[in-house]
Amino acid sequence: MKQQETLASLNVSRETEAQLHDFVALVEKWNPVINLIAKGSIPNIWSRHIEDSAQIIALAKLSDYWIDIGSGGGFPGIVVAICLKEISPSTCVALVESDMRKATFLRQAAALLELNCEIHSSRIESLTIAPAATLSARALAPLPSLLEYAETLVEKDGVCLFMKGQTYQDELAAAQKSWSFEHDIVQSQTDSNAAVLKIRNIRRVAD
């Protein structure tokens, strides 16, 4: 998908479009040093990373706080924060990334783009922050592990948005052995084999 088609599908303002352009330029500048995204995906960055990240906003529960774990190069966290700057400016997006170099990149991007973000450069297991209405993750860990994190990071009536590849059905089956939860499978807008798992009411199954 071409850049122009991607921007049209996102239906964003000129200001948001300009910020997305600025963010893409930052990723392309830093990528040779830090490897934020696969080199081969750079020609398709608008469809594969920008649009892919932005699609989850419509599924979120917008409140004052959104946590994105394993934020890496800012997908989806920075893209979400750029879009929310216009539609939900009071929402603070917390980006969690243990890699110090990537966390440095995220801080610079958030500062340059004047985003409502906070960056946590620590492992998720040792994170001590308030739970959020929305918890997101993209290509981070198997679903059972993500639910372990979600148990303390998402509010009781909050929603988890986990972006998954073609093995998501297997991951759901594995997770249901230890966890009870409600879920919707939303087909990805950018990959016919992928899905966003929208998960609510997570409870650990008793042994």
Binding-site residue set for S-adenosyl-L-methionine: 70, 75, 124-125, 138
Q: Is 128 helix (H, G, I), strand (E, B) or coil?
A: coil
HSE of 133, CA atoms in CB hemisphere, 13 A: 11
**Who's near 19: CB < 8 A, 6+ residues apart?**
82, 85, 113
β strands within the chain, DSSP E:
65-69, 92-96, 117-120, 132-138, 154-164, 179-187, 195-204
Q: Which residues are annotated as a binding site?
A: 70, 75, 124-125, 138
Contact (CB, 8 A) for 99 and 76 = no
